[in-house]
Amino acid sequence: MDNFRLFLGVALSASVGERLGDLAKRLADRLPYRSWTHPADYHITLHFLGDLPPDRIPAIQAAAREAADRTAPFALALGRPGTFGPPDAPRVLWCGLTEPAAVAAGGSQGCGSGDHGDAAGTLPALAALYAALAKPLAASGFALEARPYRAHVTLARRGGPGGGPDAVSAAWHDAVQALAPLPADALSWTAESFALFRTHFGRRPAYERLAEFPFGLRQP
């Protein structure tokens, strides 16, 4: 049997995904990225596991359940956009994550780039979940990425000239203004689980949820 390309990630709520899709449509009219993420595929990657035989899935599920049982639901919000790669030809356009209070204070208006901005993966709840998964996955023999964790939602890939930080910042600002006024909670949600995803190449949407892992702890 062929290998599956697998990863663990947190999905956006349906309403936040729809709102981000509306913003992305406006960005696509302004920015020279050649491949845009289908709104149904928006997610925050926790661990990319690579191409694996299906018989490795039970071990992934066991590690995921172990981490989920020790995690409580947490609040997230869409943050600032930014890019990975050279400013004159960025590889990836992303939307960062922040605390819901930062959105209420106007924190979604700016733009980051390269190694800066909201994709630093510093939100405590996401960082804790990433770490809680890493230990049992590594113990089960899965090869994990060595580079620092950078939490983000990928919006588009394969950018070109005119798709750098300044252009992204201006386009994002105009897209947000076009949808204004946004309800205070339009860009925030409570994550109550994460999932194991499989990538289907040549299909849109491309990601299939193979298993869902609800968080086991509850806030007092």
Q: Has 152 been annotated as catalytic?
A: yes
Task: Kindly list the distances between the CA atom of residue 88 and the CA atoms of 5, 32, 126, 155, 171, in Å, as whole numbers in the listed order.
Answer: 31, 11, 30, 18, 16
In whole angstroms, give the CA distance from residue 122 to residue 130. Answer: 11
**Helices 165-179 and 14-28: crossing angle, nearest 10°?**
120
Q: Has 173 been annotated as catalytic?
A: no
Tokens of 56: 């490795």
Q: DSSP strand E in the chain: where?
A: 4-11, 33-36, 43-52, 74-84, 92-98, 153-159, 188-191, 193-199, 207-214
- Helix spans in 140-195 (H): 165-179
Q: Which of 38, 47, 116, 152 is catalytic?
A: 152
Q: Which of 38, 43, 47, 173 is catalytic?
A: 43
Q: What phi and psi, each to the nearest 5 degrees, are found at residue 2?
A: -65, 155
In whole angstroms, give the CA distance from residue 163 to residue 82. Answer: 10
Q: How many CB atoms lie within 10 A of CB 35?
A: 11
In whole angstroms, give the CA distance from residue 111 to residue 116. Answer: 9
Catalytic residues: 43, 152
